[in-house]
Amino acid sequence: MQKIRFAWMTSAALVFISSLAFAAPAEMAKSGYIRQTTTIINTNASLIQTTNIYWRGDCMRTEQYGVDGLVIQIKNGKTLYMYSPSRAQAVKTNLPANSQSVQQILKSMATPVAGGKKIGSSVVAGIKCDAYKVTKDKNSSAIVYQSTDPRFPLPLKTVITVGKAKQTTQTKSIKLNTTI
């Protein structure tokens, strides 16, 4: 029952966040590192997941630590590798020729937040952010802390509320244009 609630909350959060429109920035960081934590709190259960993301050019490595243990995804150009040590599973996938590069993926997630009302500013992981409140209906809302740094103008913190459930994703540390 708890897994169903988490699946529902995650699906609702993804649908809600994907309804936000973003525009491409001028100059993105070419490489970097991000550490994020996601906390989901529902009526009777909670979940914490930690994600590390490393990228340089068209290569990206994502490490997710959560309920299913460690899951590693590596995108190297047009090839994607996925590995789950706890499940002893590994998959190699060739991506379509028209798949997006890492830079295109990052740009597609960039600022500004559409449909949101600016409610202030804050600092997340040492980077100045503008805070926006987006309300879908009386039971669904989000607060998005959008970086104002042109090298990485992405949401650094989101707090999504759907009914009594709440999902918070927060960037804990970030390094831009570094060697990985």
Report d(CA 94, CA 97) in Å as an integer: 9
Identify the helix (H) or strand (E) that includes residue 105. Answer: helix 102-108
- The one-letter amino acid at 88: A
Burial of 58 (0-12, 13-18, 19+ CB in 10 A): middle
pLDDT, tens digit, for every residue of 103-156?
Answer: 777 777 775 677 889 999 999 999 999 999 999 888 899 999 999 988 888 899
Question: What is the chain's mean pLDDT, rounded?
Answer: 81
Q: Is the pLDDT of residue 83 over 60?
A: yes
Identify the helix (H) or strand (E) that includes residue 37. Answer: strand 31-41
**Residues in a beta bridge with 103:** none
Structure tokens belonging to residue 112: 């500004």
Domains in the chain, please, with CATH? 2-176 (2.50.20)
Residue 121 or 77, more confident = 121
Residue 8 or 42, more confident = 42
Return the pLDDT at 64: 94
